[in-house]
Structure 1
Amino acid sequence: MERLKIAATGPDDAAAREVADRLADLAAGAPVAVASAPAPEPGAHHLVVGVGVPEGDATVDVRVPRSAEAVRELWRGRVAPFADNLARRRRAPRRQHVVLAAPDPSWPAQAARLMARLARVLGERARRIDHIGSTSVPAMAAKDIIDLQVVVDDLAAAVEAAALSHEAGFVHVTGPFYGIDRHGTHHDEQVAVDADPGRPVNVHFHPVSSPIWTEMLLLRDWLRADPAHRAEYEAVKRGLAARPDHDVNDYSLDKMPWISRALGRAEAWAPQG
């Protein structure tokens, strides 16, 4: 059984230890390990709790004041369900209708912490790990879901890596899952998602032979390069999100015609980029 690993940190070591002790008391008997750490090692903990850290601190996952009630609320609302989901290999609940969030400048830092957890567990199995999708593009509205992709040797390695991601705090979900390239061809992949109810994540594991991972990087970089492209894509997304009869799966599929055309434009742009 994978234990949820938590570190409490902050500029005041005594305050961080106090919060860690309170969480440890609440976690008695649960599959949770809590420690205080002045400088948590990147990727070593599933959740880093900042005590008295300033807003915008990129090193922590959640901030909490030095109060017993705040710690209890953190336990009830996030830590306890995260630990239970991880122990049961159960994905956190997620809404099935599309809600676009305003651009969040902390998305890249959040993605970097998630990628550090994966890199620590996967080691050389991962040829590369990238932040992709709309949250990887500055100044663009997006569903508040971090998308990551991991490139591995082949599909068997993707299965192994997705299963190992449990040690990093994720849940391997059975498919079949596939990515659709710009020509409409399906390519098998593996997927892991969040056990943490406070941070929705999709992790896509692609064989290196799949064109999907290079297309996702090309689309990301093309959108990053031109605000007009971002505005065009955002308008498409807002139109699809406004359809009352569409769920998240419909939304993803209905974006594909625009994405396919955009990839053609991005390929023409790439040699100049």
Structure 2
Amino acid sequence: MSETIEILPYNVQWPEIFNGLATQLQEAIGEYALAVDHIGSTSVPGLPAKDVIDIQVTVASLEAPLQTALEQLGYQRKLHLTDHRPPGRDDLAVEELEKHFYFNAHPRVNLHVRVAGRFNQQYALLCRDYLRTHPHAAAAYAEVKQQLAKYFPDNADAYYDIKDPVFDILMEGAYIWAERKA
């Protein structure tokens, strides 16, 4: 049985929770972590979200020996997950979407280990930064998530099958924004 999808109002404690987790991760992983970033909806001030902290650990290689250290912190790995391929992006090589994924139940954390410079690593940071600086886009995205959770609270496949391509549309604006500010 899967969990019910519930979108909660923004919690001002999410950044503080992330900071504590990031410190633990950095200490446990050490030099293998090139960066530890707060990503996803809980990283965007004011954005409603599921009560799950998304963290991205950027590494030089997915071969970095992180699993033992992460398991000691309570993270469990889900094998053979890749990131969503945006529609029309058949040009992306499989490795551009590869990651290692871990979760922790207390506190609820999704931990994404991605390689520096790859599409999926950059996508997560760009989406966070775009939503942080574009409140109207963030509000529209929040509305989509809230409506999907209302109509599909117990159907994660339906929720993500709709949310992901909607977000890919939003990201087209993020790419233009990133090019202009570069």
Name the TM-score, length of structure 2 as normaliser. 0.87
Give the direction of change, closer, same or farther, for the CA distance of 1:193–1:268 in structure 2 (3 Å limit).
same
Give the direction of change, closer, same or farther, for the CA distance of 1:135–1:231 in structure 2 (3 Å limit).
same
Structure 1 equivalent of residue 36 of structure 2: 129
Structure 1 equivalent of residue 156 of structure 2: 248
Identity among equivalent positions (%) equals 28
Q: Which of the two has higher C-alpha Rg? A: 1
Structure 1 equivalent of residue 122 of structure 2: 214
Contact 2:35–2:57 (CA<8 Å) still a contact in 1? yes
Q: Once superposed, what is the RMSD of the aligned Cα atoms?
A: 2.0
Residue of structure 2 aligned with 1:235, choices 135, 143, 150: 143
Residue pairs, 1:15-54, within 5 angstroms: none
Structure 2 equivalent of residue 179 of structure 1: 83
Give the direction of change, closer, same or farther, for the CA distance of 1:228–1:209 in structure 2 (3 Å limit).
closer
Give the direction of change, closer, same or farther, for the CA distance of 1:195–1:244 in structure 2 (3 Å limit).
closer
| Length, aligned pairs only | 175
Give the direction of change, closer, same or farther, for the CA distance of 1:249–1:156 in structure 2 (3 Å limit).
farther
Gaps of 5+ in 2: none
Q: Work out which structure has the larger RCO, using CA pairs closer than 8 Å and 6 or more positions apart in sequence.
A: 2
Give the direction of change, closer, same or farther, for the CA distance of 1:126–1:253 in structure 2 (3 Å limit).
farther
Tell whether 2:172 aligns with 1:268. Answer: no
The separation in 2 between residues aligned to 1:119 and 1:245, in whole angstroms, is 34
Residue type of the partner of 2:162? D
The separation in 2 between residues aligned to 1:118 and 1:229, in whole angstroms, is 31
Residue pairs, 1:68-217, within 5 angstroms: 96-157=3-64, 160-167=65-72, 169-182=73-86, 183=89, 187-196=97-106, 199-217=107-125
Residue type of the partner of 1:176? H
Residue type of the partner of 2:55? L
What is the CA distance between 1:267 and its match in structure 2? 1.1
- What SS does the aligned partner of 1:177 have? coil
The separation in 2 between residues aligned to 1:166 and 1:205, in whole angstroms, is 14
Residue of structure 2 aligned with 1:225, choices 122, 129, 133: 133
The separation in 1 between residues aligned to 2:29 and 2:118, in whole angstroms, is 19
The separation in 1 between residues aligned to 2:118 and 2:161, in whole angstroms, is 19
What is the CA distance between 1:210 and its match in structure 2? 2.5
What is the CA distance between 1:163 and its match in structure 2? 3.5
Contact 1:181–1:211 (CA<8 Å) still a contact in 2? no
Higher helix share: 2
Give the direction of change, closer, same or farther, for the CA distance of 1:266–1:154 in structure 2 (3 Å limit).
same
- What SS does the aligned partner of 1:180 have? coil
Name the TM-score, length of structure 1 as normaliser. 0.59
Contact 1:170–1:192 (CA<8 Å) still a contact in 2? no
- What SS does the aligned partner of 1:138 have? coil
What is the CA distance between 1:244 and its match in structure 2? 3.8
The separation in 2 between residues aligned to 1:195 and 1:163, in whole angstroms, is 17
- What SS does the aligned partner of 1:170 have? coil
